[in-house]
Amino acid sequence: MHNDLMFDWNDMKHFLAVAKFKSTIAAGKHLKVSQTTVHRRLNDLEKRLGQKIVVRSPEGYRLTEYGHALLPYAERIGAACADLERHIREKTNDHSGVIRVTCPEPIVQLLKKSQFLSNFQLAYPKLIVQFISNDRYIDMQNGEADIALRSGDTDEELVGRKIGESVWSIFASKDYVKLHGAPRNFEDLNNHKLVVFDFLKVPHRSVEWFKEVAPNATIVSTHTSVLGLIEGIKSGMGLGTIPKILGDRETDLVCIIEKVPALVRPWRILTHPDLRHVPRIAAFFDFVVASKADLKTVFA
């Protein structure tokens, strides 16, 4: 039977994106559609429901009372659809297709410079590795990536293996050391200028550590990516903490303090439990674990 109150899942998908990003432009980019399409889908859904679900405000789009009530149901539908898509992907029984790997951009560069990717392609010529480079964690519960290469805390829902150790050191440019000298210990950081890694809404653990050990230090620059952080330190504005394996490759930088114990974290390869034994995912996962010794130039 036809029911005028029935909705199109595609409309609900656009509602979820606007609820998450508070912007029709950002929602459109996330869904790979135009802002006009997002507006049209929202209008279609509101017409079918006979209720306003979002309103525009100076801070962006916010949910109406009805929208807030609708949101948990829409989220459950979204999760079910993601599970269905994951289940369908699992049924691909041969080693072919795309493996979406999320990891920080510097790791992608190091992997490309190593022999790992060429060795993997030789072993599995029908598999394509697609990198999603991001210094922030991508939520893997919604199916945006198949595998994550991460250091630090992890989602309890994911399964993984340790593949290395992330060591952060304090580096400064040669010019900075000439002008300001080098700190002798962590406490001496109070007398220096800092370049820090900061996600703004969710401060990186290194920022919290600096605040604890050197509350009187002056932060002169913040960066939302590791590569930006390295360039900031190279500019001579101040010193900062970066992964040692990256800092050691920069000839313009000097390692001041070899290891910050509080910032050491394990590197892990992670995936969703439902994907762990999918042939193409298992192939990449197991190949990384088997190549740990050869990947010390990447995950160390």
Per the DSSP assignment, residues forming a β-bridge with 268 are 150, 162
Give per-residue pLDDT as tens, 153-193.
666 688 999 999 999 999 999 999 999 999 999 999 999 99
Contact, 116 vs 298, CB < 8 A? yes
Per the DSSP assignment, residues forming a β-bridge with 184 are none
Q: Which residues, at least 6 apart from 184, have a Cβ–Cβ distance to it below 8 Å? A: none
The position carrying tokens 């900061």 is: 198
pLDDT at 101: 94
Q: Which residues, at least 6 apart from 276, have a Cβ–Cβ distance to it below 8 Å? A: 159, 282, 285
Give per-residue pLDDT as tens, 226-282.
899 999 999 999 999 999 999 999 999 999 999 999 999 999 999 999 899 888 999
CA quadruple 223, 114, 244, 102: dihedral sign: positive
- Side chain identity at residue 86, one-letter code: R
Rounded mean pLDDT, 202-210: 82
Backbone angles phi, psi at 61, to 5 degrees: -85, 135
- Side chain identity at residue 183, one-letter code: P
Angle at CA of residue 206, ends 203 and 207, nearest 5°: 50
Q: Which of 15-19, 202-206, 237-241 has the highest mean pLDDT?
A: 237-241
pLDDT at 50: 86
pLDDT at 1: 37
- pTM of whole model > 0.85? no
Give per-residue pLDDT as tens, 88-132.
766 655 677 899 999 988 999 999 989 999 999 999 999 999 999
Question: For residue 78, what pLDDT band results from cuts at 50, 70 and 90?
Answer: confident
- Side chain identity at residue 285, one-letter code: F
pLDDT at 223 over 70: yes
* Alpha carbon distance 130, 281 (integer Å): 12
* Alpha carbon distance 178, 300 (integer Å): 29
Contact, 242 vs 166, CB < 8 A? no
Question: For residue 195, what pLDDT band results from cuts at 50, 70 and 90?
Answer: very high
Q: Cβ–Cβ contacts within 10 Å for residue 263, how many?
A: 20
Rounded mean pLDDT, 223-227: 88
Nearest Cα to Cα of residue 163 among 257, 45, 297: 297
Q: Coil, strand, or helix at residue 11?
A: helix
pLDDT at 2: 42
* Alpha carbon distance 16, 26 (integer Å): 12
pLDDT at 157: 82
> Which secondary structure element, helix H or strand E, spans residue 219, and what is its range?
strand 218-223
* Alpha carbon distance 20, 27 (integer Å): 8
Angle at CA of residue 169, ends 296 and 161, nearest 5°: 40
pLDDT at 5 over 60: no
Give per-residue pLDDT as tens, 20-43.
888 889 888 888 889 999 889 889
Q: Which residues, at least 6 apart from 198, have a Cβ–Cβ distance to it below 8 Å? A: 204, 207, 222, 223, 224
* Alpha carbon distance 300, 296 (integer Å): 5
